[in-house]
Amino acid sequence: MSEHRPVLVVDFGAQYAQLIARRVREAGVYSEIISHHASAAEIDAKNPLAIVLSGGPSSVYDEGSPTLQEGILELGVPVLGICYGFQVMAQALGGDVGKTGLREYGATATRVNPALTPLFAGQPEKQTTWMSHGDQVQSAPPGFQVLASTDATAVAAFGSEDTKMFGVQWHPEVKHSEHGQGVLENFLHKVVGLDRSWTSGNVIAEQVEAVASQVGGDLVICGLSGGVDSAVAAALVHRAVGDQLVCVFVDHGLLRSGEREQVEKDFVAATGVRLVTVDAKEQFLGALAGVSDPETKRKIIGREFIRTFESAAAEIVAKAQGGGAQVKFLVQGTLYPDIVESGGGSGTAVIKSHHNVGGLPDDLEFDLVEPLRTLFKDEVRAIGRELGLPEAIVGRHPFPGPGLGIRIIGEVTKDRLDTLRAADKIVREELTLAGLDAEIWQCPVVLLADVRSVGVQGDGRTYGHPIVVRPVSSEDAMTADWSRLPYDVLGKISNRITNEVPEVNRVVLDITSKPPGTIEWE
């Protein structure tokens, strides 16, 4: 995946394993996630610079609870244990872990001792940390100093300078721990002695070299969606191989206002990439006629996309072969979370199958070029900016592959798409004007096409559709909360939509978290 030696995050089933890996990278150090099933030999083969043991939902005393594989702590590699990983580490090294009946959840006043350890260097002795535990470390392992405590937990952190092994009971990776990132950075930079070598500039240089070596003199195609991942992947590959790359953009008619223009004008102007646009709006609308079931809509959109892309790819291949060239490679904007969640993270559970281009069939017979497969979304955005991509693309909120087709509750028609497009444009404009784009993860706008409500507009009775506005805040979309937008912004959005979109007479705000709700409605 990368030539960098990694800091390995051992995943004990933590909700925040990916977040830990991201925080390590924010400290300028490359990280990878590995399952707790990995043996000492497998970990040693990766030649890690350090190991971080994640939290997890289990108790170290539960039958079948995750354990640290034998020999890992004898590899001579610096280790930081977090929450459950702290307790597993304590138990493995000869400390005592038990149930005292004193549990700590949420913000907790914690006392640390900066004078004893570089782990807390430059930090106040009293700080707020984020706890989530029922078991407690009751005594530190032999040779380890107690470095922190709370009113309920006598051993809230421990460490050994000689072995460079440390542990904390709290979650330094979450922002609720006010000095959490400082703890991680002190471990990486002061304890382990690592420098800040993982930067977007280094990633670009490495990937340009790797892609050029992989592709050689052959042609490459890329399915552009207009989203961040495919756009940055294409820009990186274009930086490496120039006009050997041909991008295909399928306009299925389910795009938001201005998105085709962003790709055809702004993206091409910024990169100089060769672009083929396929107008397939009528094809998709015809296939979706009469269909209301969301899963059926998804399958139809995916099927028609595959057919359209296959046809465009076949034309590109035919033209290339006519000139003697070979099209051997397909670019995908696969990210590191996609690899982890698809079971590619060295034994992690499969959360979802993944294919960025919509599930292209194997008989296309292209080798994959995946220049972003080591990266998280925030890193991809940083690289996109460094490559000179427009902010309208780089800063774009996540948008589902099936597009507006799954933001219309009911049958997808041209008129309904036009209505939703107009409302969505207003929401995006007002969020941008208010400077809120960076504060929310995304803001789906949903048309309840099969619902009508009574309204009064222009001294007359109306019977229009409701629009749902769904602003959410999230770290990684695995969990999310609704964003508390200012009332005046919500008021402007509602007034503009009901004034400017004739088919809509009511705007509602979705204030459901995830769980129990999903971010998208379908």
123, 179 in Cβ contact below 8 A? yes
**pLDDT computed for residue 349 by the predictor:** 32
pLDDT at residue 358, as a whole number:
42
What mean pLDDT is predicted for residues 419-441? 95
Residue scoring higher pLDDT (454 or 520): 520
* pLDDT for 355 beyond 60: no
Q: Name the least confident of 26-35, 242-251, 336-345.
A: 336-345
Q: Which of 438, 231, 442 is nearest to 332 (CA)?
A: 231
The string of pLDDT tens digits covering residues 81-102 is 999 999 999 999 999 888 776 7
DSSP state of 267: I
Give the Å distances, CA to CA, from 8 to 80, 91, 93, 171, 501.
10, 20, 20, 17, 52
Q: Reply yes or no on whether the pLDDT at 356 is more than 60.
A: no
Q: What is the pLDDT of residue 357?
A: 42
Rounded to whole angstroms, how far apart are CA atoms 155 and 137?
A: 6
Does residue 16 contact residue 476 with C-beta atoms inside 8 Å?
no
pLDDT of the residue at 354: 34
- Six-digit token pair at 222? 């890329």
Asked if residues 24 and 7 have their Cβ atoms less than 8 Å apart, the reply is: yes
Q: Taking the CA of residue 33 as centre, how many other CA atoms within 13 Å lie in the half-sphere pointing to its CB?
A: 33
Position 359 pLDDT exceeds 60: no
156 neighbors 132 (Cβ within 8 angstroms): no
SS3 category, 463: strand
DSSP string, 301-365: HHHHHHHHHHHHHHHHHHHHHHTT--EEEEE----HHHHIIIIITTS--------TTS---GGG-
Give the type of residue at 121. Answer: A
Other beta carbons within 10 angstroms of residue 275's beta carbon come to 18
Res 221: pLDDT: 92
For residue 214, CA distances in Å to 187, 207, 312, 511 come to 36, 10, 23, 47
Indicate left, alpha or beta for 168 from its phi (over 0: left) and psi (-120 to 50: alpha): beta
The pLDDT of residue 503 is above 50: yes
Residue-wise pLDDT for 210-247, tens only, equals 999 999 999 999 988 878 999 999 999 999 999 999 99
Q: Give the pLDDT confidence score for residue 319 in this predicted structure.
A: 84
| Under 8 Å between Cβ of 293 and 442 | no
Q: How confident is the model at residue 2 (pLDDT cuts 50, 70, 90)?
A: low
Q: Could you tell me if 227 and 252 are in contact, meaning their C-beta atoms sit under 8 angstroms apart?
A: no
472 burial type by CB count under 10 A (0-12 exposed, 13-18 middle, 19+ buried): buried
Where does the pLDDT of residue 61 fall: very low under 50, low under 70, confident under 90, or very high at 90 and above?
Answer: confident
CA dihedral 121, 126, 131, 134 (to 10 degrees): 110
How far apart are alpha carbons 288 and 183 in whole angstroms?
A: 53
User: pTM (2 decimals)?
Assistant: 0.78
Residue 65, CB-side half-sphere exposure with 13 Å CA sphere: 14
- CB–CB of 355/342 below 8 Å? no
pLDDT score at 119: 96
Q: What is the pLDDT of residue 335?
A: 86
What's the pLDDT score for residue 81? 96
Task: Round the average pLDDT of the chain to a whole number and report it.
Answer: 89
Residue with tokens 């702004």: 266
Q: In what order do the strands lie in the sheet with 157-160?
A: 31-35, 7-11, 50-53, 79-82, 165-168, 157-160, 145-149, 96-112, 126-139
- Which domains, from first to last, does the chain contain? 5-189 (3.40.50.880), 198-393 (3.40.50.620), 406-507 (3.30.300.10)
Type of residue found at 206: E
Q: How confident is the model at residue 476, as a pLDDT?
A: 64
Query: To the nearest whole percent, how much of the chain has pLDDT over 70?
Result: 93
Contacts of residue 129, Cβ cutoff 8 Å, sequence gap at least 6: 107, 108, 110, 150, 156, 168, 170, 171, 172, 177, 178, 180
Distance CA 346, CA 33 (A): 8
3 state SS of 2: coil
The rounded distance, in Å, linking the Cα atoms of 155 and 161 is 17
CA distances from 412 to 135, 367, 404, 407, 409 (A): 52, 35, 9, 9, 8
Confidence band for 496, pLDDT divided at 50, 70 and 90:
very high
pLDDT in tens, 101-133: 677 788 899 999 999 999 999 999 999 999 887
Helix, coil or strand: residue 522: coil
Q: Which residue has the higher pLDDT, 231 or 341?
A: 231
Count of other CB atoms within 10 angstroms of residue 10: 29
pLDDT in tens, 130-173: 988 778 898 999 999 999 999 989 999 999 999 999 999 999 99
Where in the sequence numbering do the catalytic residues fall?
83, 171, 173
Q: How far apart are CA 322 and CA 477, in angstroms?
A: 45
**CA–CA distances in Å: residue 506 to residues 1, 234, 236, 240, 496:** 50, 40, 44, 50, 11
Query: Of 278, 293, 305, 264, which Cα lies nearest the Cα of 403?
Result: 305
The pLDDT of residue 344 is 47
Convert the pLDDT of each residue in 459-484 to its tens digit: 667 778 999 999 999 876 667 899 99
